[in-house]
Structure 1
Amino acid sequence: MASITIRQAAIADSEIISDLIARNAKKLLRDEFEEGGLDFFLTTVEKRAIRDYMEQGFSYLVAEENGDIVGVIAMKDYSHMFHLFVDQCHQNKGIAKQLWQAIYQHSMEHGNRGKFTLNSTAYALPVYERWGFATTDDEQCRHGIKYTPMEFVVED
């Protein structure tokens, strides 16, 4: 088993990140969208959009295996998880958890006081629940994208 390296993403990674997210969303999240939702989502993860998020200060970390990006996580304002995708052929190896732990630490070092939020697809809900996230509302739908709001609060 090859080792995974987590590093901060660079603007130059935006096309690879975009491709990874789009490819896996199309394969794994088909049931997470209502009419037009997948197309809307795909526009939000185009290369230009990823680059714009990075330039706006979103924190992006990537997981690499043998120099190839196999996973990505993004955090807005060091408190709202924005993207978490691991390439389908690399899932169930603990990569998503390594990405979460790395962005958690990064966010805490940048002033997060112990509260994180995210909007989960039904597909990812069990993973986030295992990590200690709790649902804060019923499933929502915006722009044809179905999601459940969740939060994680660090206990003192």
Structure 2
Amino acid sequence: MKIQINEIKTKDKIIETMKLVETTFMEFVGNDYTQEGVDEFLSYTNVENILHLMDEDKIIIFGASIDNKIVGMIAMRQPCAITLMFVNKDYHHKGIAKQLFNHVLRNWYDGKQPITVHSSPYAIPAYEKLGFVIDGEEQVSSGIRFQAMIHKKSEI
């Protein structure tokens, strides 16, 4: 299984990536959220909103592809936070999230501060495998349940 990781820049790849995000979110994460939370998440991941955030250099997205099909993604926002990370269910537990995160460490991360994430309850074990630790109590904002986590290492 040859995985390529590249920055996602074109609208067609953003559309493909956000379809992956929405499908995976609805299957694995959305059931932990209220309707308000689901609506808030889908509003954030709307293609036009993502393109707007990219145009303003507020996020950068990397995609993992197999045979030119997006199977995973990670989005980073300044100063140093994961804002989205999703992997197609057919590729769970195959190291794709780890490869995406390592790509960020090697190609985007400046090492000046720890990387943070607001993890869904579902994703906490995956982030722990990447070296993140829980940072505070679980919270809810606009119907979205999340656990603040922090990564203090510079590599995994």
Question: Which residue pairs with 1:66 in the alignment?
Answer: 67
Q: How does 1:140-151 map to 2 (within 5 A)?
A: 140-151=139-150
Q: Which residue of 2 aligns with 1:97?
A: 98
Identity %: 26
Moved more, 146-155 or 119-128: 146-155
Q: Which residue of 2 aligns with 1:25?
A: 25
SS of residue paired to 1:119: strand
CA RMSD in angstroms comes to 1.4
Relative to 1, partners in 2 of residues 1:78 and 1:65: Cα closer, same or farther, differing over 3 Å?
Answer: farther
Taking structure 1 as the reference length, what is the TM-score of the superposition? 0.91
Aligned partners of 2:96 and 2:37: how far apart in 1?
A: 27
* Structure 1 pair 11–72 and aligned structure 2 pair: CA distance change class (3 A): same
Is residue 133–residue 152 contact of structure 1 (8 Å, CA) maintained in 2? yes
Give the TM-score of the pair, scaled to structure 2. 0.91
Structure 2 partner of 1:47: 47
CA deviations on 1:33-73 (whole Å, 9 max, x unpaired) are 12421122111111111211211221210000011011110
- Per-residue CA deviation, residues 110-139 of structure 1 (Å, 9 max, x unaligned), is x34141000001111011112211111110
Q: Say whether the 8 Å CA contact 2:119–2:146 is kept in structure 1.
A: yes
1:120-135 to structure 2, matched below 5 A, reads 120-135=119-134
Structure 1 residues not aligned, in runs of 5+ = none
User: Which digits, 9 at most, give the CA deviation of each residue in 1:65-121, with x for residues without a partner?
Assistant: 01101111011015100110001111111111100110122223xx34141000001
Moved >4 Å (runs of 4+): none
